[in-house]
Amino acid sequence: MEQFLEQLTNGLAVGSIYALIALGYTMVYGVLKLINFAHGDLFTYGAYLGLTLLTSFMLQDRLGLALGILVLAAMVMGLVAVVGVVLERAAYRPLRESPRLSAVVSALGASIFLQNTLMLIYGARYQVYPDVLPQDAVHLGGLTIPLVRVGVVAVSVVMMTVLYLFVQKTKIGTAIRAAAIDQGAARLMGIDVNRVIMIVFVIGPALGGAAGLLVGLYYGQISFTMGWTYGMKAFTAAILGGIGNIPGAMVGGLLLGVIEALGAAYLSVAWKDALAFAVLIVILIVRPSGLLGERVAEKV
């Protein structure tokens, strides 16, 4: 039983990171009907930029840990959002009227391009974050849970809640939802769809970048290829929850994390990734609209 609970907490921690990244995928897909293959690399950008900013400014020493990390996160999210907007302008906007395949190829190309610029700038080796987070653990009913793990889940949940409220309760959020349902009608209603798309490409990448920073701080080690694995898992999570559906991405992410952890514990660890992909395929066959339902009109 103890192992089960511990694996559960492991899964929730990993899952909350998947969820943060999945949100970016799902928002972009909802509005543009495009799988942004480069999203995983925006996540990686967050991790690397976080490292550079952390080591250059050492804010945690100057402003204290909590405030330092907060400011760092704001900077990282801002920078990654800028990259996201540039990406949209350069790779996706020119192809808005083109067939889907072109956009997919362009997204792939963007992903490769971003990944390799990182490699050229930072080198091919792993990079290591300095140890800034506290290492204490919390003891709950026989389990030893590292404080940072609790922190990761907490931070992710807070961010997701904020996003959910933003999308549901604000005017811009409503505009985003409208554009996701039908771009043409939204335009007729006076919504500036270009601006909506830009905002989506600000929020999605920002969340992805934050996830990258979180991963860097939590695990300590980053590499320029990490966007690929996390990206695929996050995309699986988005599909699992229902692509285009924001609460779906959150649920999907957490669920996928737990499935992976339990699968590793009770089946074999070596097949963990295959399990995630198998889940993806099964969902797409059995219930392609995902657990919470797809919020996009289906074309035959």
Partner 1 sequence: MSRRLALGYAAAALALAVCPFTLGPYWLDVLNNVGLYVLLALSLNLILGDAGLFNMGHAAFYAVGAYTAAILNTHLHVPILWLLPVSGLVAATFAVAVARPVVHLRGDYLLIVTIGLGEIVRIALVNDVFGLTGGANGIFGISRPSVLGHRIRRPDEFFWLIWACVAITVFFFHRLEQSRFGRALTYLREDAVAAEGSGVNTARYRLLAFGLGAAWAGMTGTLYAAKMTIISPESFGFWESVVLFLMVILGGAGSIPGVVLGATLVVGLPELFRGFATARMLVFGLVMMVMMVVRPQGLLPLRLPRFRASDLGKASGGGPGAGSAEPGAPRPAPAEAEVGP
Partner 2 sequence: MKKAILALALGLCTLGTARADTVKIGLLAPITGSWASEGQEMKKNVELLAAEVNAKGGVAGKQVEVVVEDDGGDPRTASLAAQRLTTQGVVAVVGTYGSAVTEATQNIFDEAGIIQIANGSTAVRLTEKGLKNFLRTCPRDDEQGRVGAMVLEKMKAKKIALLHDSSAYSKGLADEINALLKAKKANVVFFDALTPKEQDYSAILTKLKAAGPDVVFFTGYYPEAGLLLKQKKQMGWKVPFIGGDAINNPDLVKIAGKEAAEGFQFLSPPVPKDLDTPEAKAYVVSYQKKYGEAPQSIYGVLAGDGFRVIVAALQASKGAGGEPLRAALGALKDFPGYTGKIAFNAKGDRVGELYRVYKVDKDGGFVLQK
Contact residues for partner 2, defined by CB under 8 A: 2-3, 6-7, 10-11, 13-14, 124-126, 128, 131, 135, 137, 144, 146, 148-149, 215, 219-221, 223, 225-226, 229, 260-261, 264-265, 268-270, 272-273
The CA distance from 44 to 38, in Å, is 10
- Shortest reach from residue 174's CB to partner 1, in Å: 26
- Shortest reach from residue 123's CB to partner 1, in Å: 10
The token pair that represents 182 in the structure block: 């039908």
The CA distance from 127 to 114, in Å, is 17
The CA distance from 241 to 263, in Å, is 19
Residue 122's binding partner out of partner 2, partner 1, none, with CB under 5 to 8 Å set by partner kind: none
The CA distance from 3 to 234, in Å, is 25
Binding mask 85-104 for partner 1 (x = CB under 8 A): -----xx--xx--xxxxxxx
Among all chains, which residue has been given the structure tokens 């100057």? 62
The CA distance from 205 to 203, in Å, is 6
The CA distance from 46 to 205, in Å, is 9
Q: Does the footprint of partner 1 cover residue 109 (CB under 8 A)?
A: yes
Residue 226's binding partner out of partner 2, partner 1, none, with CB under 5 to 8 Å set by partner kind: partner 2
C-alpha torsion angle, residues 8, 73, 158, 240 (rounded to 10): -60
Q: Which is nearer to partner 1, 90 or 162 (CB)?
A: 90
Strands in 60-115 per DSSP E = none
Contacts with partner 1 by CB under 8 A: the residue count is 48
The CA distance from 264 to 256, in Å, is 12
- Shortest reach from residue 137's CB to partner 2, in Å: 6
The CA distance from 166 to 147, in Å, is 29
Give the pairing type, strands 127-128 and 137-140.
unpaired
Choosing from 76, 110, 197, 210, the residue that interacts with partner 1 (CB under 8 A) is: 110
Binding mask 277-296 for partner 1 (x = CB under 8 A): xx-xx--xx--x--------
By the criterion CB under 8 A, which residues form the site for partner 1? 33-35, 90-91, 94-95, 98-106, 108-117, 119-120, 228, 232, 235-236, 239, 268, 270-271, 273-274, 277-278, 280-281, 284-285, 288, 298-300
